[in-house]
Structure 1
Amino acid sequence: MSPLAKISSVFEPRFAEFAFEPAFTAAVDQHVAEIRDRLSAAHSGLFPPPPPRDVLTDYALGFLDALEEMDWREPVGHDYAVCRLTAISWLALHHDLLTAGDEYGDPSSSANGLT
């Protein structure tokens, strides 16, 4: 399973919270915008293009590595990491980046406990 698919399997269920958690929705929206800006910094158009799957995957892996170094565990509420991982999941789903083949590593490995 690709890293994006692993993240989405854990954080996509949080999309349901958008219906009754407007602050969480706004925070995830801000994270989506920041990730898009970061990954398309050289883009000069008004709307950033969809992130390339490999670029978003590399970004997600780096973020997961940082969380692992901090020994982060998913809280009950919404911290920075939950918002960021939910935004990565939203981008992957919205841009249909989960249907491509898995070229990243051993499918049985898990990053930061995401399985």
Structure 2
Amino acid sequence: MVLFADGWAAAPLRSVMQTLGQDQLARMATDPGLVAAVDQHAAVLRDAIPLDRETLGDYLLGFLDELRHRGWAFSGEPDAAALRLTAVCWLARERGFLEGELPA
């Protein structure tokens, strides 16, 4: 899976949702352990940053930059980075940040 495809930085929320989020969010429907882990990461984000489209997108850009620097790649297993990315996707979906045509 290519998480950092060309153009990902122009719309990081949409990019991560397409490459990782959709599958992980669908997996949550049958995996209560994944739900609990993602919920914990979402709680950390809710406590750490204002949850508006711009701030969540900026947070995601910084997080992805760090992952790229470390050479992280999504293996398909929910490690800490994948859980955090899934939480970002879940929050973006729940708050409607991916609706409409605005870059996200």
TM superposition score normalised by structure 2: 0.82
Structure 1 match to 2:15: 6
Alignment of 1:46-61 (within 5 A): 51-61=51-61
The count of corresponding residues between Structure 1 and Structure 2 is 93
C-alpha distance in 2, partners of 1:100/1:57?
15
Q: What do you get for the CA RMSD once the two structures are aligned?
A: 1.5
Q: Between Structure 1 and Structure 2, whose CA radius of gyration is higher?
A: 1
- CA offset digits 1:56-101 (Å, max 9, x no partner): 0000000000100100010121100110001100111110111352
TM-score, normalized by length of structure 1?
0.74
Structure with the bigger percentage of helix: 2
Q: Which moved more, 1:57-66 or 1:6-15?
A: 6-15
Among the aligned pairs, what percent are the same residue?
Answer: 38
**Structure 1 residues not aligned, in runs of 5+:** 41-50, 105-115
Ranked by relative contact order (alpha carbons within 8 Å, sequence separation 6 or more), the top structure is 1
Runs of 4+ in 1 over 4 A off after TM superposition: none
Unaligned runs of 5+ in 2: 1-9
